[in-house]
Amino acid sequence: MSSMNDHLPHLASNIAISAEGLMAVSKSMTFRINFGHLIIGKKKKGSKDEVSIGDFTKLMDMHSARGGASFEPKLPNAEKAEKILQFLVEPEQHVCRALKDVERTCEFTIVTEDQEIKANANCNPGQNMKLAMVRATRPEAWGRLNWTVVAPDMKFDWNFRVDAWDKMDVPASFKDLSEKVCLTANVDKQSLLAVPTVNTARLSALEDEIKQIRVKSSARFPFKDSSYMLEISVTKAINGFRASGGPEVTWSVELYAPHWEESVNHMSGGRKVWGEGLENIWTDEGHDLKSRLGGFCRVILEVQALLNRADASVASQ
């Protein structure tokens, strides 16, 4: 925490500069905090697998300038997601106020050559899930803002990412998506993550257009008394329509503020308006940008420490 406070003036200056550019973007945008792992793709020849914190800091400076490292929010061993979630909602953790506050959702996505067609469904164990809110977007390939904070002494690193996309008309061939896809929720009422079975047989006529199919099942709840939601998800992804080998199944952890969807995209006079010192983005953390950013980072670090405890608890079972 003290190290974070040392960096706050510099971080606040950077985010203020970045925000000026982002507010000029006319596209829709999303803010998210993801917890995952930094993956080192390239290492200096002769470098060791274990390095000191000082040497690690130098390596990060090199990777940020030259590449060779990337943040991976998709976590392996998806069976851990339910166990982590069950730990987080235990009353003695004082994280989730009550089980009734846990909202379970499902997002179905088809990726085509240049678009993503999405639909949502609510999860009711053992029942067919009706897809609704069919929509199409054209997402940008790279994040407009992509900050990664590496924590060698923690189980999870974290990443603050801003993505932008264009809203598109749903292609005529996918307008009846909700009628062509059948999802059935897991019948286990004890599970909080209802990962559905999916029947896409009626999409076979569109198989040449489909590059990937994803099903993301999520459970989310307010994090303590903050203005943020903590979301645990399991995602099944199949590349192509008839890909062999079965789906890739991963899990993820996200933190976000529900009001961001509206406040991040509020525009006036041809540009986005985020308020003095980004007061419309971080609404309850302080009186200026530095204090608001500090409050925001403290919530992230609290979640990070909580995930450490949850991971240790699951490992001991």
69 pLDDT tier (thresholds 50, 70, 90): confident
Phi-psi region of 47 (alpha: psi -120 to 50; beta: other; left: phi over 0): beta
pLDDT tens digits, one per residue of 98-126: 999 999 999 999 999 999 999 998 776 66
pLDDT tens digits, one per residue of 17-27: 999 999 999 99
pLDDT tens digits, one per residue of 25-41: 999 999 999 999 998 77
Average pLDDT of the residues in 255-267? 96
pLDDT tens digits, one per residue of 184-219: 887 677 788 878 888 999 999 999 999 999 999 999
pLDDT at residue 7, rounded to an integer: 81
The amino acid sitting at 258 is: P
pLDDT tens digits, one per residue of 131-168: 999 999 999 999 999 999 988 889 999 999 999 999 99
Find, among 120, 116, 309, the residue nearest to 218 by Cα.
120
CA distances from 70 to 15, 18, 21, 56, 116 (A): 20, 20, 23, 15, 23
59 pLDDT tier (thresholds 50, 70, 90): low
Find, among 228, 233, 250, 220, the residue nearest to 301 by Cα.
228
pLDDT at residue 241, rounded to an integer: 83
Average pLDDT of the residues in 67-91? 92
